[in-house]
Structure 1
Amino acid sequence: AGSGNDTINGGVGDDSIVGDSQQGTGSGDDTIYGGDDNDTIYGDSKDGVGSGADTINGSAGDDTIYGDSENDDGSGVDTINGGIGNDIIYGDSRDGVGSGADTIDGGDGNDEIYGDSYYSAGSGNDNIDGGVGDDSIVGDSQWGNGSGYDIINGGDGDDTIYGDSYDGDGSGNDTINGGDGNDIISGDSSVSDGSGDDTIDGGNGDDSIVGDSGRGAGSGNDTINGGMGNDTISGDSGLGAGSGNDTIDGGAGDDTIFGDSLFGDGSGYDIINGGDGTDTAYGDTLNGTSLSTNSCTNVEISNQCDTP
């Protein structure tokens, strides 16, 4: 086991750095600089549990960073900056459960960022900034369930953002800003059900936004602003049923807005404002069954709407 508070500088070269222990438990509050070139950094341990509050800077290069551990659970409250390069960052762990409330900045480059874990559940309340580049950001976990209350900023670039999980259920109340660029945003999950009450701003660009889930059922009461650009917005789900009571503002641009779902049934009581531009609004759904009454303003084409 390792528990010392260490300062490590990798310098120039492709380094492999472990903050505390290769196989044992790591709990030291370490400061690690990867230096130039393509580094692999473990904040606490490679195979053991990690809980240290580490500060990690990948610097220049295409780095792979584990805030706590690669193969076991991680709970440290880490601060991670990928630096310049196309980085892969795991806030806590790749294989284990992640629960640390991490602060992550991808830096310049096309980064992959997982706030807590890749394979297991994630629950940390993370603050993530993708930085400049076309980033892929998952607030909690790629495959496991996600429940953290995350704050995510995609930064400049065409980003793909999932507030909680890609494949697992998502229930965290996340705050997401896509930043400039043509972004794809799901408030909770891409594949499974989403129930978080999310606040989403697409930023500038032609964005595709789903309040809860791309394919699963969505029930969160979301607040969505498309920002400037020609956006497509679904309040709850793309393919599954939607039941959340959402507030949606298309912002400037020619937007298409579905209060609940594109193809699934819709039953949420939604408030839709098309904003500036020639907008089309469906109070509940395009192809599913509409089961509620919705309020729509500033839209040129409307269905399933009460318009003033």
Structure 2
Amino acid sequence: MKNKWQRIFLCAVCITMFFGTCVVAAGTNHMSDLVGFFQDIDVPRDMTVYGSAIAIFGDVQMQGAVNGDVVAIFGSVEIDGPVRGNVVAVFGDLHLTQKAAVNGDAVHILGGKMTEEPGVIVNGQKINLAGFGFNGLPGVGILLVIFILITLAKIMIDYLISIIAVLVFPERFDKMATAVFDNTGRKLLIGILAILGFYILSAVLIMVIIGIPFMLLLMPAMALLSFTGNTAVKLAIGKKVGSGREKPWSQMMELFIGTVLYALVEITLVGKTITFLAKAAGIGAVIDSRAGNGNPYAQGPIGFITKEQNEEKYIGESKE
């Protein structure tokens, strides 16, 4: 069963890539597949489709006959006639009228609802997986809602892990956050070069068998670097916002405020570019400060007091 639906999905994607837009034939017969991309498919009562009817980001309204499958991804399906294959609705409603006769399975996945009138014939299985309330919402709207939910879930998980990381390494993250807004252009350049270097090195390693083990080590290392950079940026944002306060925020409050502001930007598609640059600056700060192990303050000339410690400390010369 699983392999069959994988083939149906891959078939839908491949057909969409080759044909792109909806092709509607005139007359009572259509001798190939009907495919719609961001368009609805309408099969009139006097038409027979000798293939499949597939809509991506569109609805399928079928009153005639289809000798193949009827598939809608991010769209709804209404069947009011015979279908020799399967009927599949993903992220949309599935409605079977009393004239619907499905020789295969009727499958509804992650959509609004699956309804059927008395007298419906389904020779295969009726499968309804995790239907929920997206009634009346177009396919693009559903995709946008899913994108926002996934982004929010990612932000929450990152925030919880960031709390643990900051609690374990408070001083290091404080130094990295301080370094973000110190010569930001330099940090941004370092971060972008690190990201580009990762992708170039990954492409080189994946071409040779001997490089695959190194690739398996490189990926989690880059993921850890990206997470640390993001956390440093969120802390830096919180520090910047709270810098004018008479009583400074705690590190946890800085992280919370920075995460909220970061999320408000990241949740929009346009904001992804901004958060990418922010992450690059964070990665640059992590690298430039040696993961908070270096001195985030500029070192003064010989004979001047440094800010590294709260006590007077001279470099290279005595007070005398």
The TM-score range, normalised by the shorter chain, is 0.3 to 0.5
Q: TM-score by structure 2 length? A: 0.31
Higher strand residue share? 1
Q: TM-score by structure 1 length? A: 0.32
Tell which has more relative contact order, 1 or 2 (C-alpha 8 A, sep 6+). 2
